[in-house]
Structure 1
Amino acid sequence: MSLFMPLLKTSGHLDRVYMTISNVGSRKHSDSAKHDYATKGWGVFAPNLTIIGFDADPEACAIANADIEARDVNWMEVHMPLALGKEKAKQKLYLTSDPECSSLYPPNADLIDRFAGLPEMVTLVDTEEVSVTTLDNFCESESIDAIDFLQVDVQGADLDVLIGGEKILSTVMGIQIEVEFAPIYQQQPLFGDVDTFLRQHGFTMYSIAAARRSRRLSPIMSNSHPGQVLWGDAFYIRDLLSPEVPDAQKTPEAIFKLACVSDVMQFYDYTLELLAYLTKHYGSDPNYNFANQIIEVLRQFPNLQEQKLGGLPIMAEIKDHVSGEYTNFL
Structure 2
Amino acid sequence: MPVFLNNLKKNSHLDQIHMTVCNVGSRKLGINDDYASLGWETFAPNLSIYGFDADADACEEANANIEARQVNWQEKHIPLALGSSVGESTLYVTKHPMCSSLYPPNEAYLKRFQGLPELVNLDFALEIETTTLDTFCKDEGIREIDFLQIDVQGADLDVLKGSYYLLEKSVLAIQIEVEFSPLYVNQPLFTDIDIFLRNQGFSLFDLAPSYRTRSDSPIQSTLHPGQILWADAFYFRDLIQENVNFNLKTPQQILKLACIADIMHFPDYALELLTYVTINYGHDPKYNFASSIIESLSEIPDLVQAEIETLPAVSKLKSYIN
The answer to whether 1:185 aligns with 2:199 is no
Which residue number in structure 2 is paired with residue 307 of structure 1? 306
Superposed CA deviations along residues 102-138 of structure 1, whole A, max 9, x for unmatched, are 0000000111000000011101010011001000100
**Would the alpha carbon gap of residues 76 and 192 (structure 1) be closer, same or farther in structure 2, given more than 3 Å must change?**
same
Q: For the residues of structure 2 that align with 1:39 and 1:217, how far apart are their CA atoms?
A: 38
Q: Which amino acid aligns with 2:235?
A: Y
8 Å CA contact retained: 2:17, 2:252 = no
Report matched runs for 1:1-330 at 5 Å: 1-28=1-28, 31=29, 35-170=33-168, 171-247=170-246, 249-323=248-322
Q: CA deviation at 1:222?
A: 1.6
Q: For the residues of structure 1 that align with 2:41 and 2:54, how far apart are their CA atoms?
A: 25
**Would the alpha carbon gap of residues 221 and 32 (structure 1) be closer, same or farther in structure 2, given more than 3 Å must change?**
closer
Q: Which amino acid aligns with 2:316?
A: E
Q: For the residues of structure 1 that align with 2:33 and 2:194, how far apart are their CA atoms?
A: 27
Q: CA deviation at 1:35?
A: 3.7
Q: For the residues of structure 1 that align with 2:132 and 2:111, how far apart are their CA atoms?
A: 32
8 Å CA contact retained: 1:48, 1:75 = yes
Q: CA deviation at 1:248?
A: 5.3
Q: CA deviation at 1:271?
A: 0.3
8 Å CA contact retained: 2:86, 2:130 = yes
Which residue number in structure 2 is paired with residue 327 of structure 1? none
Q: For the residues of structure 2 that align with 1:34 and 1:201, how far apart are their CA atoms?
A: 28
Moved more, 149-158 or 3-12: 3-12
Q: CA deviation at 1:101?
A: 0.1
Q: Which amino acid aligns with 1:129?
A: E
Tell me the C-alpha RMSD between the 2 structures: 1.3
Q: CA deviation at 1:312?
A: 1.2
Q: For the residues of structure 2 that align with 1:286 and 1:224, how far apart are their CA atoms?
A: 50
Unaligned runs of 5+ in 2: none
Unaligned runs of 5+ in 1: 324-330
8 Å CA contact retained: 1:83, 1:131 = yes
Q: For the residues of structure 1 that align with 2:84 and 2:245, how far apart are their CA atoms?
A: 28
**Would the alpha carbon gap of residues 248 and 27 (structure 1) be closer, same or farther in structure 2, given more than 3 Å must change?**
closer
8 Å CA contact retained: 1:116, 1:213 = yes
Q: TM-score, normalised by structure 1?
A: 0.95
